[in-house]
Chain A
């Protein structure tokens, strides 16, 4: 297993003349849970666009294990599972059809996909919803289907962009717990972008992002100690003030 399955080095991106990211560098440790924190507009979604190759960086590089995303996109993307902020399920297809579609896009056979769909939906106790139209599911269940979908091809790295935004407290807790379990049990490395600091624990690694720049990163507990604050909210306020 690679020590750093995801490495981002000096990543920059502009939308026209507007700077969205400037020299962003970070890495994700193997089987680690890393929280990417920042207010709305900090650049989290831009990072996700670049990490998933929906956009191409103007400078800097992204490396998945030994593979540069720019030069070996196929190998890099094979190791990647993504849950986007905006729902990306086809509402008019059933849960199974959505998952089979994704499996096909990963090159999986129908037979293997069927097995993996049962396994991943089973983790959420959703096997009985397999034939339901996605349109009939509530937001929480749609999110679970999206997470199951992202894991179908057994990726080494899982990227989640505001995966619990808009969900009720119980569902958020459940999904958060589920993702952490993946790190512990399956060795999946997770980058969890959120503006909800309740999703982050003090034992987590965190990256604080503001106005397209990494303003602090490291172990959350250590950062709290170094900055003489007691919780993440205070740390963020202090760091953001320092930048302003």
Chain B
């Protein structure tokens, strides 16, 4: 297989993901409406209740809307990453996943192409959200918009990899509600997306510790710092290591030798 063959393969997977995303307008709208509701309704209500002190990367007092914007970008990446990866479950049920898995390219490469496509789509949504957020006076330094792209891509990759790993364990998409309750919501609420961690520590030290080990916290912090054109090395390291671990776990999950997929074949 030549380099151009690898590129053709990536392009094919990316095109399919993009096309499906564009076709599913309701998915696009709900991906935007969800964080916008948080921004416009939830944040307005909680602005008075939740005071935010000056914490890095912010250099002045900020409004609550400004604080939760990176967290809302995180939720876009989280939902889209999970949804995109869990579409593998639908593909498996519909039979179209076999076309992907019988490709002569290494399975790890195929799965990484899929993850990167999902991360790219998530990032596009994040920028659309930021554009709409600017109508509500939520703005970041110009350089931040450029720094944000790699941060969104790697955070998107991490969350899609988590979803892909889960998809290798889930038999039917009917379990998506369970994944919402046991994976997506805990990841979101037990993070720094909606409130700074020092607030959580004041309220409950045990919950603070949970937030500290939640990789989504670091994805949000990476996004927060990037949006203000600043570097957060520790957040980057955690996100990068978590991405690698979950990509490896997902590849193992789809490896016929490891048996996860083989066991599912009994039902097909």
Contact = CB atoms under 8 A, between A and B. Distances in A.
Interface of A: 15, 45-46, 49, 52-56, 73-78, 80, 82, 84, 86-93, 97, 100-110, 149
Interface string B238-257: 00000000000000000011
B9 A107 contact: yes
A106 B103 contact: yes
B104 A107 contact: yes
Q: Which one of B23, B98, B101 has the greatest number of beta carbons of chain A within 10 Å?
A: B98
B164 interface: no
Contacts of B98: 52, 54, 82, 84, 88
A161 to B, nearest CB: 10
24 contacts: A45-B268, A46-B265, A52-B101, A54-B101, A54-B102, A55-B262, A56-B256, A80-B102, A82-B98, A82-B102, A84-B95, A88-B99, A90-B16, A90-B94, A93-B16, A100-B12, A101-B13, A102-B99, A104-B8, A105-B13, A107-B5, A107-B6, A109-B8, A149-B99
A100 B16 CA distance: 10
Contacts of B257: 56
Interface in B1-56: 1-2, 4-6, 8-9, 11-13, 15-16, 19-20, 23
Contacts of B105: 74, 105, 107
Contact of B102 (A15, A53, A90, A108): A53
A108 B266 CA distance: 32
A149 B100 CA distance: 13
A103 B104 contact: no
A78 B13 CA distance: 18
Nearest to B100: A105
Contacts of A109: 4, 8
Contacts of A54: 98, 101-102, 256, 261-262, 265
B38 to A, nearest CB: 30
Nearest to A107: B5
B256 A90 contact: no
B106 interface: yes
A108 B101 contact: no
B1 A53 contact: no
Nearest to A13: B262
Interface of B: 1-2, 4-6, 8-9, 11-13, 15-16, 19-20, 23, 94-96, 98-106, 110, 256-257, 259, 261-263, 265-266, 268
A92 B99 CA distance: 15
B8 A15 contact: no
Given A88-B96, A104-B11, A107-B6, A93 B19 contact: yes
A73 B103 CA distance: 9
Given A104-B9, A104-B11, A105-B110, 13 more contacts: A53-B101, A54-B256, A73-B106, A74-B106, A75-B104, A88-B98, A90-B94, A97-B16, A105-B103, A106-B103, A107-B9, A107-B104, A149-B99
B256 A89 contact: no
B265 A55 contact: yes
A112 B265 CA distance: 34
B12 A92 contact: no
Contacts of A55: 256, 261-262, 265
B96 A89 contact: yes
A102 B19 CA distance: 15
A160 to B, nearest CB: 14
A90 B94 CA distance: 8
Nearest to B256: A56
B12 A15 contact: no
B103 A77 contact: yes
A15 B103 CA distance: 24
Contact of A53 (B5, B8, B256, B263): B256
B8 A107 contact: yes
Contacts of B13: 101, 104-105
Contacts of A104: 8-9, 11-13, 15
B262 A56 contact: yes
B9 A97 contact: no
Given A54-B102, A55-B261, A105-B105, A90 B96 contact: yes
A82 B104 CA distance: 12
Given A55-B261, A109-B4, A86 B268 contact: yes
A15 B236 CA distance: 42
Nearest to A146: B99
A107 B1 contact: yes
